[in-house]
């Protein structure tokens, strides 16, 4: 059945590509439902003719089976907190749809049809951040999705919150008529944490690219030596992420004439005779150790990509319907530990990335350690004007928040549901917190990039002309939304503009 990679997830969730199902695939999906319908006619199957969770010991009368599904959806639509943004909500819809597209869920084709209609009409379900514990799936969050599919609750269209029934009527979409196990099928699964997680991963890669760019630009403007990102140094450390970052830096600086060659120091007779060197022999760690610090970020994101793609393309409900084996299997594919752990790891590495940016920012602003620029990159009168002094407070406090948020959710299980769910993943909680960490990271990076560009403004024309073409390109991109800071004027809107620019831009490193 249909498998999606991260680029396709981005196309459907962020870029709003149209989703199309072929007739052949539709027939296969309808076979799954027909099989379950026949298979369950004379058997006890969880979620079809039983109660749910610890109430599964109770058999449900045949004339109440459909009502059972509606009761489940409505009773669990109990989310609180903020509503998911449109991109994350679309990713949740896509994730649930992809689960069903594997043909192992036995839901009616009407479920799949409604999910496709929501995607293609850009109807954003109202899904709350707080709800499921991520063990029997994202029950509460996915209940809200199911509630919208049956024409109840609220959705967002063009950013406006409206009654679902009104929007569906306008779009000539008939609300879902729940059949067999459709309610449970929609709710049992990891699609909320996976959907949010996939968007988190997309933006984490973008943030990593900006971190590599900013770090490389700083190496250039302080005229650091080239061997910290050289082949010779990095090829002896056997980590793919480190080597990727080092190569990205080399490619970025291939036409720079500001970066110092270590060989020049080795062959400079005057330097050899000096007892105290004016030029630093090695830079601070936040300048010199970029491949070693950002390499683990790249490796972590790459592994998380594999896990998230696997999870979204898996069947993660319960029970699982197997046409091949002509059987129904009960178990725990809805348990979200895989995603919970990866989200914890992503927020750890994004926090470290943010810490690196904050330290590099401090290096640029502290004239005593950089030895090149005036305090706070101030272009005007010291004492009377403040340069980037105020912005540093924001970057530092936001970094501190990330350090606090990077604590694990994966190990914070709380037994609930009459102890039926006695160990849970908290996967959506982890994904939501990670989302906050990434957003914070972009805000710190925005201030950092503004400072890097301010440092470039303070270079003399000779040095500016020696900058790499990549550095000039990024400088112009930031300057298009944020001018040089000369006079003391409020910067909050400029920070927001740069943040948005960073988020929507995929760098070609």
Distance (Å, whole) CA 227 – CA 326: 62
* Angle, alpha carbons 180-325-322 (nearest 5°): 35
Distance (Å, whole) CA 232 – CA 313: 40
Distances (CA, A) of 60 to 17, 47, 261, 417: 42, 10, 77, 20
From 46, 128, 156, 205, active-site residue: 46
Residue 385 phi/psi, 5° resolution?
Answer: -110, 160
* Residue 321 burial (CB count, 10 A): 25
Partner residues linked to 138 by β-bridges: none
Asked whether the beta carbons of 124 and 89 are under 8 A apart, the reply is yes
Determine whether 88 is exposed, middle or buried from the number of CB atoms within 10 Å of its CB (0-12, 13-18, 19+).
Answer: buried
Query: To the nearest 5 percent, what fractions of the chain are helix, strand and coil?
Result: 60, 5, 35
Greatest CA span in the chain, whole angstroms? Answer: 96
Asked whether the beta carbons of 79 and 130 are under 8 A apart, the reply is yes
**Does 284 qualify as catalytic in the annotation?**
no
Asked whether the beta carbons of 134 and 410 are under 8 A apart, the reply is no
Residue 294 phi/psi, 5° resolution?
Answer: -85, -20
Asked whether the beta carbons of 5 and 309 are under 8 A apart, the reply is yes
Residues assigned a catalytic role: 46
């Amino acid at each position: 059945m249909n498998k999606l990679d991260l680029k396709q997830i981005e196309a459907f969730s962020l870029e709003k590509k149209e989703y199309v199902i072929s007739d052949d695939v539709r027939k296969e999906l309808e076979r799954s439902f027909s099989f379950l319908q026949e298979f369950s006619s004379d058997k006890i199957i969880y979620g079809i003719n039983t109660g749910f969770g610890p109430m599964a010991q109770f058999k449900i009368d045949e004339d109440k089976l459909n009502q059972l599904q509606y009761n489940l959806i409505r009773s669990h639509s109990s989310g609180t907190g903020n509503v998911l943004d449109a991109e994350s909500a679309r990713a949740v819809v896509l994730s649930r749809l992809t689960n069903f597209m594997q043909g192992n869920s036995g839901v009616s084709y009407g479920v799949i049809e409604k999910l496709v209609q929501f995607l293609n009409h850009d109807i954003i379900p109202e899904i709350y951040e707080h709800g499921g514990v991520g063990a029997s799936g994202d029950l509460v969050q996915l209940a809200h999705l199911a509630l919208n599919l049956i024409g109840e609750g609220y959705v967002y269209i063009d950013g406006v919150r409206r009654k679902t029934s009104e929007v569906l009527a306008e779009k000539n979409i008939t609300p879902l008529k729940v059949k067999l196990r459709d309610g449970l099928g929609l709710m049992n699964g990891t699609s909320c944490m996976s959907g949010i997680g996939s968007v988190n991963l997309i933006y984490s890669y973008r943030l990593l690219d900006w971190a590599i760019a900013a770090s490389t630009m700083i190496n250039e403007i302080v005229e650091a030596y080239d061997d910290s990102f050289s082949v010779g140094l990095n090829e002896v450390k056997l980590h793919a992420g480190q080597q990727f970052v080092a190569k990205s830096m080399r490619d970025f600086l291939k036409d720079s004439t500001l970066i110092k060659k270590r060989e020049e120091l080795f062959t400079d007779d005057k330097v050899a005779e000096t007892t105290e060197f004016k030029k630093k022999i090695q830079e601070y760690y936040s300048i010199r150790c970029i491949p070693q610090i950002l390499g683990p970020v790249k490796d972590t994101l790459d592994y998380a990509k594999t896990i998230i793609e696997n999870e979204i393309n898996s069947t993660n409900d319960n029970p699982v319907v197997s046409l091949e084996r002509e059987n129904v299997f009960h178990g725990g594919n809805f348990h979200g530990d895989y995603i919970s752990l990866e989200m914890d790891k992503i927020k750890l590495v994004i926090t470290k990335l943010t810490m690196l940016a904050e330290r590099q920012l401090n290096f640029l602003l502290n004239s005593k350690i950089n030895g090149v620029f005036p305090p706070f990159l101030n272009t005007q009168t010291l004492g009377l004007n403040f340069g980037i002094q105020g912005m540093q407070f924001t970057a530092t406090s936001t970094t501190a928040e990330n350090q606090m948020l990077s604590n694990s959710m994966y190990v914070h299980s709380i037994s609930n549901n009459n102890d039926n769910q006695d160990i849970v993943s908290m996967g959506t909680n982890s994904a939501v917190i990670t989302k906050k960490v990434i957003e914070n990271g972009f805000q710190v990076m925005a201030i950092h990039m503004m400072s890097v560009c301010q440092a470039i403004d303070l270079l003399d024309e000779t040095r500016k002309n020696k900058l790499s073409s990549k550095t000039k390109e990024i400088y112009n991109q930031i300057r298009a939304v944020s001018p040089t800071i000369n006079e003391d004027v409020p910067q909050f809107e400029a920070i927001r503009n740069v943040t948005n620019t960073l988020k929507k831009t995929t760098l070609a490193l």
